[in-house]
Amino acid sequence: MTLGLGIRSLLAQSVVYLMGGPPGPETIINGRRCLYFGGTGYYAFQEHPELIRAAHEALDKYGMHTATSRNIYGTTPLYREVEEKAAQFFGTEDAVYLPSGYLSNIAGFQGLIQTGQYDMFVVDAEPHWSISDFIYAMRKPVYTFAHGDPDDLRKQLKAHVQAGERPLVVSDGIFPTFGVVAPIREYFQAVEPYQGAIWIDDAHGVGVLGAHGRGTYEYYGLASDNLFFGGTLSKSVGGHGGIVPGKKNLVQAIRAGHIVNGANASPSPAAAAAVQGMTLLMEHPELRERLWMNARTLKAGLKQLGFPMQDSPVPIAAWRLKSGEEMDRIHAELLKREICIQRTRYVGGGPEGALRAVVFATHTTGQIERLLAELKSLV
Ligand SMILES: Cc1ncc(COP(=O)(O)O)c(C=O)c1O
């Protein structure tokens, strides 16, 4: 099976909503103030005064950005600070800052091929586009396993890995549309006999899962030199850009590679905001507790309405109704009541897509209850 590129889903998403303020429990959509459950800025750091102050200061000091790639003159102390802070946050030897989370995957693949001698990719059949867009460019065989299915992963490994070959298993840590955590512990057990490794795109896990917010591996209590990941600083962290934390040799390989040398880094204000976001997440573990509590409140309420939900602290909840038209109707009705959830056709949502609500740490229980009550009156 060959992975699709998701173009059909993109074309289907034709209605445009204009966001007139930063994402938070409330924002402005199409000129109206709404209760907002529509995005993935899990701590609403995008509107946090300390991030905004840090971003202003960086803008004054460094201007917008360096206008050349990192290994020429384009490394300011700020970019170094992002990497040092990220290494501290994730408890790794080092970290490399990339222009986007989307690019973390290709940067990670390139770095791992150079440093790890992997012979093939074995990838979940419904990965984020930032995986499927790039994995075929790596000039290695690519095999797929059924979405989220460790048994099929075992079968594919048995069928394709020859003696002496090392597979690299690739998946999202959290699948973004339904917020489902991939069964990484089972994947790890499956790949260990082959001396293989795992790469996850942990865009939605970092800052959210695990006691320190280090992501999906920490959530499962997994630690090994054969577990690799990339993430984004745009969601939970409130800044912008991608990050690959890890051992020095991998980080150096990525730093010396095409992405870091061929693309401008994220703008300086965004880098400063990312440093501040990670600092806040380290200093305030209670924010994570609050986020998890809100996630549980939302999911418990949705379960009561009859929608199946994975039992996890992931703050993303999505569900399908009997038809696309019915989902369009509920979405539009909620918007009329100034409640904004997503009518999504994002990756993994299937042909009809889904309804998707995301909670922040800063939503009040009352705001979540209001969403649930309005939904109940409509479905
Ligand atoms: C699973 C996943 N990976 C990667 C990305 C890309 O991250 P970024 O926006 O930092 O490029 C996203 C973005 O929403 C995502 O959902």
Single-letter residue type at 105: N
Pocket test for ligand 1, best of 45, 128, 132 (most atoms within 8 A of CB): 128
Phi, psi dihedral angles at 54 (to 5 degrees): -60, -40
Indicate if 216 and 248 belong to the same structural domain: yes
Cα–Cα distance list, 343 to 29, 126, 156, 162 (Å): 14, 19, 34, 44
101 lines ligand 1 (CB under 6 A): yes
CA distance linking residue 26 with residue 227, whole number of Å: 38
144 lines ligand 1 (CB under 6 A): no
Task: Provide the residue count of the chain.
Answer: 379
Residue 13 has pLDDT above 70, yes or no: no
- In this structure, the dihedral spanned by the alpha carbons of residues 34, 37, 40 and 44, taken in order and rounded to 10 degrees, is 60
pLDDT at 188: 98
* Ligand 1 atom with least separation from CA of 242: 10
- Helix, strand, or coil (residue 238): coil
pLDDT band at 3 (very low <50, low <70, confident <90, very high): confident
CA distance linking residue 317 with residue 299, whole number of Å: 7
Please give the tally of structural domains in the chain: 2
124 lines ligand 1 (CB under 6 A): no
Beta bridge partners of 143: 122
pLDDT at 205: 98
Containing structural domain, residue 119: 49-283
Q: How far apart are the first and last CA of the chain?
A: 37
Indicate if 271 and 349 belong to the same structural domain: no
Indicate if 157 and 278 belong to the same structural domain: yes
For ligand 1, atom 10, name the residue with the nearest CA: 101
What is the average pLDDT across 55-81? 94
CA distance linking residue 169 with residue 229, whole number of Å: 11
Indicate if 188 and 227 belong to the same structural domain: yes
State the greatest distance between any 2 C-alpha atoms of the chain, in Å, as a whole number.
61
Mean pLDDT lowest among 69-73, 167-171, 200-204, 232-236: 69-73
What is the average pLDDT across 273-298? 98
Indicate if 25 and 155 belong to the same structural domain: no
In this prediction, what percent of the chain has a pLDDT beyond 70?
97
Indicate if 94 and 57 belong to the same structural domain: yes
Indicate if 35 and 57 belong to the same structural domain: no
Mean pLDDT, rounded, of the chain: 95
Which letter does DSSP use for residue 180 in this model?
E
Residue 12 has pLDDT above 70, yes or no: no
For ligand 1, atom 4, name the residue with the nearest CA: 102
What is the average pLDDT across 286-310? 97
pLDDT at 48: 98
Q: How far is the CA of 10 from the centre of ligand 1 (A)?
A: 15
Residue 7 has pLDDT above 60, yes or no: no
Indicate if 177 and 228 belong to the same structural domain: yes
Any domain includes 247? yes
97 lines ligand 1 (CB under 6 A): no
Residue 293 has pLDDT above 90, yes or no: yes
Short-list 361, 349, 364, 370, CA closest to 41: 361
Indicate if 297 and 165 belong to the same structural domain: no
CA distance linking residue 268 with residue 270, whole number of Å: 5
CATH number, residue 363: 3.90.1150.10
Pocket test for ligand 1, best of 232, 266, 316, 345 (most atoms within 8 A of CB): 232
172 lines ligand 1 (CB under 6 A): yes
Q: How far is the CA of 165 from the centre of ligand 1 (A)?
A: 30
Q: Assess contact for 51 and 300: CB atoms under 8 A.
A: no
Residue 4 has pLDDT above 60, yes or no: yes
Q: How far is the CA of 101 from the centre of ligand 1 (A)?
A: 5
pLDDT band at 1 (very low <50, low <70, confident <90, very high): confident
Q: Assess contact for 86 and 93: CB atoms under 8 A.
A: no
Pocket test for ligand 1, best of 10, 97, 130 (most atoms within 8 A of CB): 130
Indicate if 201 and 290 belong to the same structural domain: no
Supply angle C-alpha 302, 305, 306, rounded to 5.
95
Q: How far is the CA of 304 from the centre of ligand 1 (A)?
A: 30
In terms of C-beta density within 10 A (0-12 exposed, 13-18 middle, 19 or more buried), how is residue 338 classed?
middle
CATH number, residue 261: 3.40.640.10
Short-list 103, 367, 108, CA closest to 227: 108
Residue 73 has pLDDT above 70, yes or no: yes
CA distance linking residue 235 with residue 240, whole number of Å: 8
201 lines ligand 1 (CB under 6 A): yes
Any domain includes 1? no
pLDDT digits (tens, 9 = 90+) for 108-151: 999 999 998 899 999 999 999 999 999 999 999 999 999 999 99
Any domain includes 2? no
CA distance linking residue 34 with residue 334, whole number of Å: 10
pLDDT digits (tens, 9 = 90+) for 24-63: 999 999 999 999 999 999 999 999 999 999 999 999 999 9
What is the average pLDDT across 294-307? 98
Residue 8 has pLDDT above 70, yes or no: no
Strand 167-172 versus strand 120-124 pairing type: parallel
176 lines ligand 1 (CB under 6 A): yes
Mean pLDDT lowest among 71-80, 105-114, 283-292: 71-80
pLDDT at 71: 83
CA distance linking residue 281 with residue 283, whole number of Å: 6
What is the average pLDDT across 182-192? 98
Indicate if 194 and 157 belong to the same structural domain: yes
203 lines ligand 1 (CB under 6 A): yes
In this prediction, what percent of the chain has a pLDDT beyond 90?
93
Indicate if 11 and 97 belong to the same structural domain: no
Q: Assess contact for 129 and 345: CB atoms under 8 A.
A: no
Q: How far is the CA of 102 from the centre of ligand 1 (A)?
A: 5
Mean pLDDT lowest among 7-16, 21-30, 226-235: 7-16
Any domain includes 149? yes
